[in-house]
Structure 1
């Protein structure tokens, strides 16, 4: 497979989109729709889809509240809006993390997972959420971080709707 690492692992991220991001429609790496990242990991493509699907099963949509802004990343150069702690969102993160690890996936920045998980929505230019906004995260998507080996693009490859646990594949 083009773009796969020598070890057969491929970069993925599980997210809950706040803005539309249909399965099969790619976007540039600097033009992400607003989203909450649940887990960034490397894994073989089919194993990634199976791990996330198995972790989710049937889940209710987390209802979250946007908190204050913070600066993340190297030297605090990434502006984000934190998401207030939410047990349903933490549970989704934990379930995906455990399933990916159990299936042999390589989790990025493990210090930011589990108890270190700080859900947030990155500010994208003039696109952002505001403190106090209440959001319903109605689905979890699996995003390929290097479709066809091209790291300039991102591609949602599957989506699982809340409550049904049904997958939409592209």
Structure 2
């Protein structure tokens, strides 16, 4: 079964980018999922949905702590209807044939955020959502790496 995540990177990336598990570029997770479908089939599910939903701005809100023992520092994203619609449309495009680990964090419980890394965003920062990207969480079955399989931009 393939493990994937659909994200909106803060700064644009190119398809083919490979990075270490510990070296994610700043991003907002749209949906995390597992499927037995090929990456090409998954990509095609998003082709008709994502471009029409991209090209909006949002504002970064306060800092918070996520994860086990609240050990992961994040910057929350202020409520933005366009981002929530993008999340919902991505879920609907996937359909029932996918497994959603962490499903309790979807739909009305979706809490968009940007995890702090070597760099971070600050309350009040403005971000333009100009791209969505499909990321393979285990390219070539290697859990130490991540690979951007496809990117979508506004129609």
TM-score (norm 1): 0.86
- Asked if 2 retains the 8 angstrom alpha-carbon contact of 1:147 and 1:154, the reply is yes
Measure, in 1, the Cα distance between the counterparts of 2:115 and 2:7.
12
Question: Do structure 1's residue 50 and structure 2's residue 71 form an aligned pair?
Answer: no
- The Cα of 1:57 is off from its aligned counterpart by 4.7
Q: Which residue of structure 1 lines up, in the alignment, with residue 81 of structure 2?
A: 87
User: For 1:44-102, what per-residue CA distance to the aligned partner results, in whole angstroms no more than 9, with x for missing partners?
Assistant: 22222122223325224121000000000011111000000100000000000112134
Q: Which runs of 5+ in 1 are unaligned?
A: 1-8, 165-170
- Aligned to 2:124, the other structure's residue is in SS state coil
Within the candidate set 129, 135, 140, 1:143 is matched to: 135
Which structure 2 segments of 5+ residues have no match?
A: none
RMSD after superposition: 1.2
Partner secondary structure for residue 49 of structure 2 = helix
Partner of 2:58: 64
Tell me the CA shift for residue 31 of structure 1.
0.3
Higher RCO structure, 1 or 2 (CA under 8 Å, sep 6+):
2
Of 105, 114, 117, which aligns to 2:98?
105
Is residue 6–residue 134 contact of structure 2 (8 Å, CA) maintained in 1?
A: yes
- After TM superposition, what 4+ stretches of structure 1 lie above 4 angstroms from structure 2? none
Q: Does 1:119 align with 2:127?
A: no
Give aligned pairs, total. Answer: 153
TM-score with structure 2 setting the length: 0.94
**Matches of 2:100 and 2:56 in 1, distance apart?**
23
Alignment of 1:148-167 (within 5 A): 148-162=140-154, 164=155
Cα distance in 2, alignment partners of residues 10 and 65 from structure 1 = 32
